[in-house]
Chain A
Amino acid sequence: MSDPIFEPLEFQNLTVKNRIFRSNISGRFDNEDGSLTQTRINWECRFAAGGVGAVISSYVPVRMDGRIIAGYATIHRDDFIPLWQKLGEAVRAHGAKYILQLSHSGRQMDIPGVHNMHRPSPAPTSKMESLHGFLCQAMSTGEVRQMVRDFAQGAWRAREAGLDGVELHAANGYLFTQFLSSAINDRTDCYGGSLRNRARFLLEVIEAIRDKVGRDFHVQVKLSATDHNNVLPWEGKGNTVVDTIQVAQWCEALGADALHVSTGSLFPHPLNPPGDLPLDVLAVTYDAMISSGVSGFRNFLLFRYPMLRPIFRWLWFRMKKGRPVEGVGYEEARLIKDAVRIPVISTGGWQTASSVRDALGHIDGVSMARALVANPDLPQVWAAGYDLPPVPCTHCNKCLVGAPKLPMGCHELARFPSRDAMIDQLMEIYDTRATLQIPEAS
């Protein structure tokens, strides 16, 4: 009997060799102008070489005003198409597919960078983001329609680059979530109010992409099953899984090929990525974000002084009670799967082969980021019959909280024989062997 993990997954327009997806995760690998680098190619190929069926790219903005951190590659310019093409070829050379995640930060912009520091971010609302105090400005109806076109244009560039598909990042608090969430969207035009109106932006983007790239290009949508927006207790709870099931059905009806199910209306969120939150590490990395939001300094103080940490710890960990780390969003993904006919991928703490096999009886695939950052060869470990790798991911989330300041990779020293060994692994992807050129004289 074949292992369900390694059975191919056939989408409408794409077949992936197994059920393992590298979920979107990135470091500050790329150039300030948004062009990708060899480092990113090395990063993505690490997972493709490890045996995943598909790599879902990092968060890729369709516009420069939608970056979350300067240093992440964008797809806002046609002249970047060859770069993405190169990346796609590199991943496919290892037998994996490459799905580009089309994204826009909306108000959830962690480090604005030189392009965005002088202006509030475009968003469906002018209410600042609650946790960090990121500023935003509600888009006019016309600006929303322009945003729809920009997403379609991003999808066209992905297709032109020969990539295997696109994913709309409509989860985890970014622009699409800000439209979808009843706790965030306070618009009074046709993009606010009822669930249908709040979903209108996402559905128009799907339609526009289909118009632009046709029916035969893979388009999937990542949704947060439940908002759990009340991380700060005075905030509204936001959308429920019932709302999201309805949105998922509308996505399917408009031509989405798959759904990727996460949770939470902000990122990071107590339930995404699940696991610990190392406040002591935040004390030395969050300073990179102090000036990004009007509440940055307050948060930094909460992290910096141990006597204040219980305040944040209470806020953060109260939502985790009674919930598992592995498969934290599985039950909600099942509910959505039961309501649609297209494949559903679940993300959230997956790492154990047996758990994944059990889940695949009800859903179609799993995506992982941290487990693969810790062990890029996890698919091969599973294929060899092991349930867990010898040194599994601890879900400590040090990789997450280091993102604004430290190189992306595993920072859990306990997983390495020495600090040097940890740093050696972190530096592997920077071994670019670049061909350096002398700029032409003017």
Chain B
Amino acid sequence: MTAVSAVEAALAQRRRRWRPVLWLILAAVLIALFVGIGLIIRVLQSGTAHYSDDDQHFRHGSIGAEVASGIPYKVWQALPVLFPEEFPAGDYSSFGFLYDGTQDLPIGISKRRVSGVDLVWFNCAVCHAGTYRESEEDTPRIITGMPAHQLDLHGFTKVVLGAASDPRMAPDSLRRAMADAGVGLGLIERILWNLAVFPRLREGMIERASRLQPLLDRQPDWAHGRVDTFNPYKVLEFDWPTASLSEEEVVGASDFPSIFLQGPRAEMQLHWDGNNPSLAERNLSAALGAGVTPDTVDHRSIERVADWLLDLEPPASPHQPDADAVARGFDIYVRDCASCHGWQSPDGYVFEGDLLGEITPLDEVGTDPNRLHSYTQDFRDQQVAELFKGTPYAFRQFQKTDGYANAPLDGLWLRGPYLHNGSVPTLADLLIPPPERPKKFLRGGDVIDPQGGFISPTCTTEAACFDTGVRGNSNAGHMWGTDLEQPDKSDLIAYLLTF
């Protein structure tokens, strides 16, 4: 067709010439639009899975720690691929994390999508779920609520902090590792990660390492089943420089406690040192230790766990001691122990005793003082002044104490090694004078010991060897029962094995 004018012909020719470019531009715009909308949809996605079963919620539900403390799920999955030398088992069981087969994440690790990125981090179960076996050949049985005595949290923390500055965490190698771990990035995710995740990931990890590593450098190994509750809290939550911590307070590792039957514990002095009688405040404080912040905490989730724990019974003891010995031991226990610890009846644990839940001064109990000293008056004052300030959750009841609390002994068979710092392998060892108690032994075993607790072989030089001579690990103190005659001790142990 002839154009109406030369200008129209030129414009038509120009349109023809530019048409491929315009199509390309249109395609680029459409792709950009598609990607942009995809990104927006992705970024707007936030939330976490909800579980109908309380136990599953305890094991895998989020308490809000991922937002401020977590790492991306895909990085979590890639770390064993990137650092095979640190993960000899190929997954997080290398550090004692437990897998129950329902998820690809261990118990105690929850997932939450934050602005389109799945983040993972701790929940309550990371420190309060463990296993036991009746014999070496037995299959480990997972018990939620018991101490995570198998967990090497210190080792895990060191690996994560070390990874922050490792060249293998560079985006390219990390991307390859994610693909190898079966969690590669899709198109939209790749853009999101390039724009937002990769630039912040290492920076965040290095920043956290810069605050926590100096503290770890001043501390001995926490050991399996133990954690320093308050000192990391000081440097991470309150941004205190490690150098500001006094020598007296800087070591504070102690055992993960069991958390059965919280209802009867209300109004008792909670925590090893009994620094707070409020279950709610103790729970929130523990959640802060797991990584939540006042801004990210999921109160509903934590309260659901707390309600479930109010009457969570420990499983019945598998020990089958001689009934006569148990009866004799009961008499001894009532005479020498029950006023501080309550007692076990055939119908369950009886939370009665004049001194139950009260604090025994350090001078009297004589156990390792480091955990007590790690909770300082300054720290308590800042807790009360700042945390959850202006909300109904504000901390009010924390107090600095001078000893350790007399704890109920329900589920005692799952709570070895004993004392607050787990420095005595078995109940039998607890009934002998401290100088005769095992000085070095391996923690973390889950085969129950007929003497109470778990079989904990003596050791000498292994890296994981728990040395009671190291600061914070002292097995001194708690002299009650050590002066009993051996038959009485045996009877008392028989009774204690029924707890």
B302 to chain A, nearest CB (A): 57
- B-contacting 9-mer, from A85-93, A97-105, A287-295, A388-396: A287-295
- A-contacting 9-mer, from B4-12, B32-40, B108-116, B319-327: B4-12
For residue B14, CB closer than 8 A to chain A, the reply is yes
| CB-contacts of B1-50 with A (<8 A) | 4-8, 10-11, 14
Collect the chain A residues with CB atoms within 8 Å of residue B14's CB: 294
Do A117 and B11 touch across chains, with their CB atoms under 8 A apart? no
Partner of B4 from the list A117, A119, A296 (CB cut-off 8 Å) is A117
Do B5 and A294 touch across chains, with their CB atoms under 8 A apart? no
The answer for the CA separation of A112 and B7 in the assembled complex, in Å, is 10
The answer for the CA separation of A135 and B11 in the assembled complex, in Å, is 11
Collect the chain A residues with CB atoms within 8 Å of residue B10's CB: 128, 135, 294
Collect the chain B residues with CB atoms within 8 Å of residue A292's CB: 7
The answer for the CA separation of A128 and B11 in the assembled complex, in Å, is 12
Do B8 and A291 touch across chains, with their CB atoms under 8 A apart? yes
The answer for the CA separation of A19 and B347 in the assembled complex, in Å, is 131
Collect the chain B residues with CB atoms within 8 Å of residue A120's CB: 6
B9 to chain A, nearest CB (A): 8
Collect the chain A residues with CB atoms within 8 Å of residue B5's CB: 112, 117-118, 291
What does DSSP make chain B's interface, helix, strand, loop or mixed? helix
B10 to chain A, nearest CB (A): 5
**Which single residue of chain A is at the shortest CB-CB distance from B11?**
A294
**Which single residue of chain B is at the shortest CB-CB distance from A291?**
B7
**Which single residue of chain B is at the shortest CB-CB distance from A112?**
B5
Do A293 and B6 touch across chains, with their CB atoms under 8 A apart? no
**Which single residue of chain B is at the shortest CB-CB distance from A121?**
B6
A314 to chain B, nearest CB (A): 26
The answer for the CA separation of A119 and B6 in the assembled complex, in Å, is 5
Collect the chain A residues with CB atoms within 8 Å of residue B8's CB: 291
B395 to chain A, nearest CB (A): 59
| CB-contacts of A253-303 with B (<8 A) | 291-294, 296
Collect the chain A residues with CB atoms within 8 Å of residue B4's CB: 117
Q: Which of A118, A119, A291 has the most CB of B within 10 A?
A: A118
**Which single residue of chain B is at the shortest CB-CB distance from A134?**
B7
The answer for the CA separation of A351 and B4 in the assembled complex, in Å, is 44
Collect the chain B residues with CB atoms within 8 Å of residue A112's CB: 5-6
The answer for the CA separation of A135 and B8 in the assembled complex, in Å, is 10
Q: Which of B4, B7, B11, B14 has the most CB of A within 10 A?
A: B7
The answer for the CA separation of A293 and B8 in the assembled complex, in Å, is 9
**Which single residue of chain B is at the shortest CB-CB distance from A293?**
B7
Collect the chain B residues with CB atoms within 8 Å of residue A135's CB: 6-7, 10
| CB-contacts of A90-132 with B (<8 A) | 112, 117-120, 128
The answer for the CA separation of A120 and B6 in the assembled complex, in Å, is 6
Collect the chain B residues with CB atoms within 8 Å of residue A296's CB: 7
**Which single residue of chain B is at the shortest CB-CB distance from A133?**
B7
Collect the chain B residues with CB atoms within 8 Å of residue A291's CB: 5, 7-8
Collect the chain B residues with CB atoms within 8 Å of residue A119's CB: 6
A129 to chain B, nearest CB (A): 11
B121 to chain A, nearest CB (A): 52
The answer for the CA separation of A92 and B83 in the assembled complex, in Å, is 105
B3 to chain A, nearest CB (A): 8
B440 to chain A, nearest CB (A): 83
B4 to chain A, nearest CB (A): 7
A172 to chain B, nearest CB (A): 22
Collect the chain A residues with CB atoms within 8 Å of residue B7's CB: 117, 133, 135, 291-294, 296
The answer for the CA separation of A135 and B7 in the assembled complex, in Å, is 7
**Which single residue of chain A is at the shortest CB-CB distance from B5?**
A117
The answer for the CA separation of A120 and B5 in the assembled complex, in Å, is 9
Collect the chain A residues with CB atoms within 8 Å of residue B6's CB: 112, 117-120, 135
- A291-330 CB mask vs B (1 if < 8 Å, else 0) is 1111010000000000000000000000000000000000
Collect the chain B residues with CB atoms within 8 Å of residue A128's CB: 10
B355 to chain A, nearest CB (A): 84
The answer for the CA separation of A434 and B494 in the assembled complex, in Å, is 138
The answer for the CA separation of A291 and B5 in the assembled complex, in Å, is 9
Collect the chain B residues with CB atoms within 8 Å of residue A117's CB: 4-7
The answer for the CA separation of A292 and B10 in the assembled complex, in Å, is 11
Collect the chain B residues with CB atoms within 8 Å of residue A133's CB: 7
A294 to chain B, nearest CB (A): 6
Collect the chain A residues with CB atoms within 8 Å of residue B11's CB: 294
The answer for the CA separation of A117 and B14 in the assembled complex, in Å, is 18
B1 to chain A, nearest CB (A): 13
**Which single residue of chain A is at the shortest CB-CB distance from B2?**
A118
Collect the chain B residues with CB atoms within 8 Å of residue A118's CB: 5-6
The answer for the CA separation of A240 and B11 in the assembled complex, in Å, is 34
**Which single residue of chain A is at the shortest CB-CB distance from B8?**
A291
**Which single residue of chain A is at the shortest CB-CB distance from B4?**
A117
**Which single residue of chain B is at the shortest CB-CB distance from A116?**
B6
A297 to chain B, nearest CB (A): 9
**Which single residue of chain A is at the shortest CB-CB distance from B13?**
A294
The answer for the CA separation of A294 and B8 in the assembled complex, in Å, is 8
The answer for the CA separation of A292 and B11 in the assembled complex, in Å, is 11
| CB-contacts of B109-130 with A (<8 A) | none
B471 to chain A, nearest CB (A): 75
- A370-406 CB mask vs B (1 if < 8 Å, else 0) is 0000000000000000000000000000000000000
The answer for the CA separation of A112 and B3 in the assembled complex, in Å, is 15
The answer for the CA separation of A118 and B5 in the assembled complex, in Å, is 4
**Which single residue of chain B is at the shortest CB-CB distance from A120?**
B6
The answer for the CA separation of A85 and B4 in the assembled complex, in Å, is 37
Q: Which of B4, B5, B6, B10 has the most CB of A within 10 A?
A: B6
The answer for the CA separation of A119 and B14 in the assembled complex, in Å, is 16
A109 to chain B, nearest CB (A): 10
The answer for the CA separation of A5 and B283 in the assembled complex, in Å, is 106
The answer for the CA separation of A67 and B497 in the assembled complex, in Å, is 116
A135 to chain B, nearest CB (A): 5
**Which single residue of chain A is at the shortest CB-CB distance from B3?**
A118
- A205-219 CB mask vs B (1 if < 8 Å, else 0) is 000000000000000
The answer for the CA separation of A291 and B6 in the assembled complex, in Å, is 10
The answer for the CA separation of A109 and B316 in the assembled complex, in Å, is 104
The answer for the CA separation of A129 and B240 in the assembled complex, in Å, is 72
The answer for the CA separation of A284 and B10 in the assembled complex, in Å, is 25
The answer for the CA separation of A294 and B10 in the assembled complex, in Å, is 7
- B365-376 CB mask vs A (1 if < 8 Å, else 0) is 000000000000
The answer for the CA separation of A15 and B11 in the assembled complex, in Å, is 51
The answer for the CA separation of A128 and B10 in the assembled complex, in Å, is 11
The answer for the CA separation of A214 and B7 in the assembled complex, in Å, is 41
B18 to chain A, nearest CB (A): 12
| CB-contacts of A126-166 with B (<8 A) | 128, 133, 135
The answer for the CA separation of A420 and B151 in the assembled complex, in Å, is 100
| CB-contacts of B201-250 with A (<8 A) | none
Collect the chain B residues with CB atoms within 8 Å of residue A293's CB: 7
A107 to chain B, nearest CB (A): 12
The answer for the CA separation of A292 and B4 in the assembled complex, in Å, is 12
The answer for the CA separation of A291 and B3 in the assembled complex, in Å, is 12
The answer for the CA separation of A112 and B10 in the assembled complex, in Å, is 15
**Which single residue of chain B is at the shortest CB-CB distance from A117?**
B5
B14 to chain A, nearest CB (A): 7
A69 to chain B, nearest CB (A): 15
Collect the chain B residues with CB atoms within 8 Å of residue A294's CB: 7, 10-11, 14
A-B contact pairs, 25 of them (CB 8 A): A112-B5, A112-B6, A117-B4, A117-B5, A117-B6, A117-B7, A118-B5, A118-B6, A119-B6, A120-B6, A128-B10, A133-B7, A135-B6, A135-B7, A135-B10, A291-B5, A291-B7, A291-B8, A292-B7, A293-B7, A294-B7, A294-B10, A294-B11, A294-B14, A296-B7
With A128-B10, A294-B11, A296-B7 given, can you name 14 additional A-B contacts, CB distance below 8 Å? Answer: A112-B5, A117-B4, A117-B7, A118-B5, A118-B6, A119-B6, A135-B7, A135-B10, A291-B5, A291-B7, A291-B8, A292-B7, A294-B10, A294-B14
Residues of A within 8 A of B (CB): 112, 117-120, 128, 133, 135, 291-294, 296
Nearest 7 A/B pairs, CB to CB: A117-B5, A120-B6, A135-B6, A119-B6, A135-B10, A294-B10, A294-B11
Residues of B within 8 A of A (CB): 4-8, 10-11, 14
